[in-house]
Copies of this chain bind each other. A is one copy, B any other.
Amino acid sequence: MSGNTFGKLFSVTTFGESHGPALGAIVDGCPPGLPLCEADLQRDLDRRRPGSSRHTTQRQEPDQVKILSGVFEGKTTGTSIGLLIENTDQRSKDYSKIKDQFRPAHADYTYHHKYGHRDYRGGGRSSARETAVRVAAGAIAKQYLATHGVQIRGYMSQLGPIKIDFSTWEAVGQNAFFCPDPAKVPELEAYMDQLRRDQDSVGAEITVVADGVPVGLGEPVFDRLDADLAHGLMSINAVKGVEIGAGFDCIAQRGSEHRDEMTPEGFLSNHAGGVLGGISSGQPIVARLALKPTSSITTPGRSIDVHGQAVEVVTKGRHDPCVGIRATPIAEAMMAITLLDHWLRQRGQNGAVSVDTPRLSQC
């Protein structure tokens, strides 16, 4: 219930540092009877895994997850599920130099002042390595939702200045960028190759979509579905913005344009992104998140050390030049966790999730 738990009925609590022995999570509240094995989690972990292309960190981590409890004879028991991922490729020596320095734009400075001391190796708890177990936990939520017709998928919709239009879901899995448009891939590769030569990093935008979500998920007024989604997505490392549906574009929209009209056959548009009044409408849930460029770059930057003295920081180590590239499975995981939590809450208070509500056609 402190800061390392997310969710109320379906909840995920995590631990683990970048260079500690292991990362782990406890998934609580998973409905019993769900078929589940480690391979079900490994698929998404492999999608997020470092070192799988030249465009991501070269740290080699198999990210093999173990299920330590909560599953018996191939099915969840309804009790808490323990997950463990061992770290195998730490090179902590890389970090000794920056032990007393605050990398600009990094959590070094705030962790130091919040806690008084910190595990400086690879960012410790502030490292995006922590998201591995979110992906494992999210895969459990996805598994449950999939058996109820809900599919959660994401893609990269912008890399640095390059906007990417959605083409097909198949394309997303066929390149290192989660890019839905195969024609754009060479441009992305060229951009990333130049970025590495520039010793710089860049931001990205990810779009996540949940299809098949029934009407009725979301608990106003504070635990609106979109508010909890914003919480979950903004809690991902490097995320600086979250939009639902039309998002910031709705500022300049007129009501007559923004409102999604309905006919007996269905909604005529989806500017709402599948959420009305904080409750799912049966349309696809559409969220976008903006990820900032990695702060860990080898281009020297001005900063200070723990004594307040000016220093020039050069961050060695093996870093992602664009953390957005591996962020798609993480965003999917947080959306899945949020949706399953609200599924269970809806079922708890209202007796059932109205999966049979006549679903309006979806835009």
How far is B261's CA from A31's CA once the two chains are assembled, in angstroms?
30
Whether the pair A32, B106 counts as a contact (CB closer than 8 A) is: no
State whether A81 and B15 are in contact (beta carbons under 8 Å apart), knowing that A200-B255, A222-B6 are contacts in the complex.
yes
State whether A119 and B3 are in contact (beta carbons under 8 Å apart), knowing that A107-B278, A203-B258, A347-B347 are contacts in the complex.
no
A205: B residues at CB distance < 8 A: 248, 251
Whether the pair B15, A80 counts as a contact (CB closer than 8 A) is: yes
Interface contacts beyond A1-B28, A72-B119, A243-B290: sample of 12 additional A-B pairs, CB < 8 Å, sorted by A: A1-B1, A2-B223, A4-B28, A24-B84, A69-B125, A78-B350, A105-B258, A224-B235, A228-B231, A240-B245, A250-B291, A261-B301
How far is B349's CA from A177's CA once the two chains are assembled, in angstroms?
36
Stretch at the interface among A51-59, A166-174, A180-188, A292-300: A292-300
A346: B residues at CB distance < 8 A: 114
A234: B residues at CB distance < 8 A: 224, 226-227, 229-231, 242, 244
The interface bits of chain A over 30-73 (1 if a CB of B lies within 8 angstroms of the residue's CB, else 0) are 11110000000000000000000000000000000010111011
A285 CB-CB contact with B under 8 Å: no
A147 CB-CB contact with B under 8 Å: no
Whether the pair B231, A268 counts as a contact (CB closer than 8 A) is: no
Whether the pair B280, A110 counts as a contact (CB closer than 8 A) is: yes
Whether the pair A252, B200 counts as a contact (CB closer than 8 A) is: no
In the complex, which of the residues B24, B126, B218, B262 contacts A104, with contact meaning CB atoms closer than 8 Å?
B262
In the complex, which of the residues B69, B117, B241 contacts A242, with contact meaning CB atoms closer than 8 Å?
B241
A-B contact pairs, 27 of them (CB 8 A): A3-B29, A3-B221, A4-B28, A9-B9, A9-B348, A15-B79, A15-B81, A22-B82, A24-B26, A70-B125, A75-B117, A78-B349, A78-B350, A79-B115, A79-B119, A104-B259, A104-B261, A107-B278, A110-B278, A114-B350, A203-B258, A231-B231, A235-B278, A240-B248, A250-B292, A271-B292, A347-B348
State whether A106 and B276 are in contact (beta carbons under 8 Å apart), knowing that A28-B3, A293-B253 are contacts in the complex.
yes
> Whose C-beta in chain B lies nearest to the C-beta of A346?
B114
